Structure 1
């Protein structure tokens, strides 16, 4: 067995931190497991910068570990599931955080920093008894502590802050039937929620001292679409370069097999939220989007080795029902390349998701 010299084990913290700054996230994880002294140098990981290329996380509930694929290093890794071990399911990712749920518990967890917080039990809101659960989270200083907002299976909004005992409904009690939503995202301290038809976004304020979300304004599509590739689609919201984008992934109708809709990808459409309308986006400029499962992330392409600007990278259902597809879509000319993931599906597990290797949020408000 290879032994580490005691002089290295007892290095001062400032030297260890200098070493950490040169390591990738997988190496930092290995570094922190050597001894208590080295682990202490990695506790405050917010200063670590590494290529942010999202990892692919295999979403297989029965396993005790998450299987991850790192695109930059072209390697597979396994990580212990952490705060909840048995039969857990990932419901989505948001800027490095996962929503993980079992039969009776939910938590928000950072796979890399190992920080995790239990959320109110599902039974405290009747609409959370069944998946799916689309979610977003914010640690904006104006929303202290962490605020989590989700879309429940009946397409209504629920929300909570860390430490709450139960989930809150977004509506006033006298509203019997409100809008139905498909996805949500924070842009600093405001919540954006896109309605299921994909042409309207409602914007809310969030105040942890209040029982309801605060409606601020509604924006709608400026012009009707000239062509709709399919009546079946997934909807995503993502913050990109200080703007909120609405992303539609169209699915081949013959391949749609699950709810929410997830089928073979045939194209994308992107809208941007302006002050009072939704407008078409023909270019992502230097950004790349990563779409998979119920979530979407936007990153500068120069932070993602091996990936190109103005592209959408996606994971979805393959026409072969035993496998998943992955590919990329070029926004300006709408060209698309798709391949089949080599490893077959396991036990009807949900679609793998993208996970960003981040340790904290950035907020510009």
Structure 2
């Protein structure tokens, strides 16, 4: 009698229930989602389904603005790794990242202005900034996007280097603009269907609503403190940001003081827009939130989503010559001082910018037009990370 060896049947993981696979996807960070999608077609399909799409809580990544390379150089603050992401467009010398907002990069070239989701390669053209329509230095210096509930862009606003405010809806062919003689804006953000703009001194914020393409001012707030002569010094540089933090709009001023050292002494001054009193009120605490600040953008997150980052702190990139940086430092809002360096990169990055690691996905809400530009074929272009090890030292 022959002895028949029992052959053990290995499970066919490709035939797992789609519902179970979608639950797995919802708990994976971006790099692990990419690895998950590369296992087989059924896993890829599960990861690109509408049910699986939502933001995985993750600290912002750093993306280099280097325009000479065919790839984006990125650093994940969660898994402490560096990656390369191939650019879905020809790397022209004049194509630069000029902003980032809620997972979307804003890129500017000689003839084109567009927004790009770094992790899916989906991109949307915006009107070219020369269509702002006034005699101005049109190149954008600050951006914000209005988002649907599922974080897809529905409208854009920008401030030009000449201090003009421009805005448009996704799909428009020209920017609409607002300019008042003698007033120069520094930054802009959306919140609760209103547009907020702050002046270059960080002392005045205006609120607008737009109806049928026309901006209507609905309020303004000012700082009770005099501006002083802080910006008159040649050794002091100040940048002004607007950010929504816990439902409130904050004015964040970054002050780089070069008076006593080659490397600047950095501090942050934060005020809250209090519309009921029409005043800017100094903020003593961010509570459970964290701010991430670069030269070109600012992001705010709940500290529970940012492993390794402390609540009530500002994390900012430090610049040396020609906007080259290799450090991220921590500023304590409670103490008003820089506490430590939390990231030292093994290689320098050119003017890195913070970007939230998230995918766009199809949405059927009233505000969103994503159905016009997200297709199943584009959703499956998610395998965009080339995993490369780089020397990164976390302190």
Task: Tell me the TM-score range normalised by the shorter chain.
Answer: 0.7 to 0.9
- The match for 1:95 is 102
Aligned counterparts of 2:322 and 2:88: Cα–Cα separation in 1: 33
Aligned to 1:223: 225
- What is the rounded CA distance, in whole Å, between the counterparts of 1:75 and 1:40 in structure 2? 26
Give the superposition deviation at 1:290.
Answer: 0.6
Is 1:204 the counterpart of 2:211? The answer is: no
Q: Secondary structure at the match of 2:111?
A: coil
Q: Where in structure 1 are there 5+ consecutive unaligned residues?
A: 258-262
Name which one, 1 or 2, has greater alpha-carbon Rg.
2
Q: Structure 1-normalised TM-score? A: 0.83
Q: Which residue of 2 aligns with 1:40?
A: 45
* Structure 1 Cα separation of the partners of residues 199 and 285 of structure 2: 24
Q: Deviations over 1:255-281 (max 9, x none)?
A: 999xxxxx8352110000101110001
Deviating above 6 A after TM superposition, structure 1's stretches of 4 or more consecutive aligned residues are: none
Which residue does 2:257 correspond to in 1? 252
The 8 Å contact of residues 264 and 317 in structure 1, kept in 2 or not, is answered as no
The equivalent residue for 1:317 is 319
Question: Within the alignment, does 1:195 sit opposite 2:199 as a pair?
Answer: yes
Distance in structure 2 (CA, Å) of the matches to 1:294 and 1:22: 30
Establish whether residue 150 from structure 1 lines up as the match of residue 152 from structure 2. no
Alpha-carbon deviation of 1:6? 9.5
Of 193-202 and 328-337, the range deviating more from structure 2: 328-337
Structure 2 CA distance for aligned equivalents of residues 18 and 123 of structure 1: 46
Higher relative contact order (CA 8 A, sep 6+): 2
Contact 1:237 1:245 in 2 (8 A): yes
Residue number in structure 2 paired with 1:260:
none
Match of 1:271 in 2: 271
Deviation at 1:45, TM superposition (A): 6.9
Aligned mate of 1:64, from 66, 70, 74: 70
The CA RMSD over aligned residues, in Å, is 3.3
Distance 2:335 2:229 in 1: 16
Counterpart residue number, 1:289: 291
Match of 2:331 among 320, 329, 332: 329
Deviation at 1:145, TM superposition (A): 6.8
1:168 aligns with 2:176: yes
Shift in CA distance, 322/314, structure 1 to aligned 2, threshold 3 Å: closer
Q: 1:322 to 1:105 in 2, by over 3 A?
A: closer
Say which SS state the counterpart of residue 69 (structure 2) adopts: coil
Deviation, structure 1 residue 246: 0.4
| 1:74 and 2:80 aligned | yes
Greater share of strand: 2
For structure 2, the residue ranges without an aligned partner over 5 or more in a row are 1-9, 368-395
Q: How many residues align?
A: 344
Who is 1:118 aligned against?
125
User: Given the superposition, is the C-alpha separation of residues 226 and 118 from structure 1 closer, same or farther in structure 2, using an over 3 Å criterion?
Assistant: closer
The Cα shift of 1:241 comes to 0.4
Contact map agreement 1:84 1:102 (CA 8 A) in 2: no
